[in-house]
Structures are given as C-alpha cells and as structure tokens.
Amino acid sequence: MTDQREITLTVNGTERTIEVEPRRLLVHAIREDLDMTGTHIGCDTGNCGACTVLRDGEPIKSCMMFATQADGSEIMTVEGMEDLPAAGEDLHPLQEGFHKEHGLQCGYCTPGMLMSGKALLDENPDPDEAEIRDAISGNLCRCTGYQNIVSSIEYAAEKLDEQAAADGGVVAEDGDSDGFDCGVENCCGGPSAETPTPHVEGADPQFDDVTEGSESE
C-alpha cells in the first residue's frame, strides 16, 4: 500500500533487518515482525508503559515511536534479560526479584516494569523507594498496588550489588569511578572487564549522565 523502508535494529544483541511502512509503530515491528511478543500494548496513548523497551539504554514507550525512527538503534526487550551477564545461567536478578517478592500477578505490565527497573538500576544502582516509585510511575499496574514491585527492584539492586562485590574489581576502589559499574564491557569495571578502566563517556549513550548522578547521592 505505502512504500516500505528497510530498517536495521539490534534487538537483544542480534542485528535484524526488516521492511516496514513508515507509519508502523515500533511496538508492532517488535511484536509482529520480529515475533517477540513479550512486549505488550495496553493503552495506545503512552500512559500505561506496557510497551516499554530500552532504546540505546533509555526506556521508551515503543507505541509512541515509529519503527523507522528507531532505525540503527539497539533495542532491548524482556526476551533479552536472560542473556545479560548478570543473569548468569538463569534469571536476571530483576526477574528473580519479581518472582521472589511477588511483584506480578497477571503479568501483563511485567515486561515493561522490568525494562523500567533495568533502566533505573543501570543508572542508579542503589535507588531509594521514592526513586524506584518515580522510575516506574510511567508503568501502570492494575494488580499489585506497586508495593511488591518496589520490593522486587530493591531485591534486584541488592543482588546486583552482591554480584558486583563478588566479581571483585567491579566495585572499584579508586576514586575515579566512584564505585560505579556501567555494565559496558571493558569500560569502567563491567563484568567482563579484566582490568577496570575509567568510564568512557559515549561508550554507550545510556550511561552518559550516570557518573554525575552517582556523585550527587
């Protein structure tokens, strides 16, 4: 009907090239063209956050963006969580937290919540309750009353912190990185880095403001 555009997305680490109409929403491209149905649709107006994914590390509502606008970007969805280094052999600490702390009931908002939780912890590894509530305030949940979701994210923060400590080297002892691990390989103490190096601005745009943020705490 209308012209198709070729776009390339790196979804959960795998490069995918698809043809889409310019008006096609990113969420439909993810769900229907890439068959990753973990990301949901709940409101069409950007209010509910069920469609939240990470685009270049930033949480976005994928029903509010055309797929073509995301051309060339890195997209992370719930399906990618188990492949993250922090997940080890099993579940990512955030997923584990939602399970252990009963942070979900019907499960429909859960993938979006996980993405918002991930974006928060990437930026602020030790958030307080108000910061967590604020970070998920763009994600509506009709089942849980949010209290257990907050606990789930707190659980994950703690677990990630323990992992970082156990990894050694990640909790940097020099003043430069201020104990911060951006998670990017071979940057400031990411899990795979053998020698922690200072964080490089621009290594991954999602971490640009992080060092500043962690200093203000």
For the range 144-147, what are the long-range contacts, defined as Cβ-Cβ under 8 Å and sequence gap of 24 or more?
A: 144/102, 144/103, 144/104, 144/105
DSSP at 174: S
Listed ranges 97-105, 160-168, 169-177, 199-207: which one lies at the site for other proteins (CB under 8 A): 97-105
SS3 135: helix
Question: Among residues 35, 173, 194, 212, which is the contact residue for other proteins, using CB under 8 A?
Answer: 35
**In what helix (H) or strand (E) does residue 106 lie, and over which residues does it extend?**
none
Q: If binding is defined by CB under 8 A, does position 55 make contact with other proteins? A: no
Kindly tell me which of 138 and 205 has the beta carbon lying closer to other proteins.
138
Contact mark string toward other proteins, 131..170, x via CB under 8 A: -xxx-xxxxxxxxxxxxxxx--------------------
C-alpha–C-alpha distance, residues 161 and 148, integer Å: 20
Contacts of 87 (CB under 8 A, 6+ apart): 81, 93, 95
Please give the size of the binding site for other proteins, defined by CB under 8 A: 59
C-alpha–C-alpha distance, residues 106 and 47, integer Å: 19
Kindly tell me which of 78 and 170 has the beta carbon lying closer to other proteins.
78
Note the Cα 56 to chain centre separation in Å: 9
Listed ranges 75-83, 164-172, 188-196, 205-213: which one lies at the site for other proteins (CB under 8 A): 75-83
Listed ranges 35-43, 117-125, 188-196, 198-206: which one lies at the site for other proteins (CB under 8 A): 35-43
CB burial readout 100-128, b (16+ within 10 A) else e: bbebbeeebbbbbbbbbbbbbbbbbbebe
Listed ranges 39-47, 166-174, 187-195, 200-208: which one lies at the site for other proteins (CB under 8 A): 39-47
Q: If binding is defined by CB under 8 A, does position 111 make contact with other proteins? A: yes
Listed ranges 40-48, 177-185, 187-195, 203-211: which one lies at the site for other proteins (CB under 8 A): 40-48
Question: Binding to other proteins (CB under 8 A): which residues in 182-211?
Answer: none
Q: If binding is defined by CB under 8 A, does position 22 make contact with other proteins? A: no
Beta strand segments in the chain, E: 5-11, 14-20, 52-55, 58-61, 74-76
Kindly tell me which of 54 and 170 has the beta carbon lying closer to other proteins.
54
Question: Which neighbouring-strand residues pair with 52?
Answer: 61
List contacts with other proteins (CB under 8 A). 1, 21, 23-24, 28, 31-32, 35-45, 47-48, 50, 77-79, 81-82, 91, 95, 98-100, 102, 104-111, 114, 132-134, 136-150
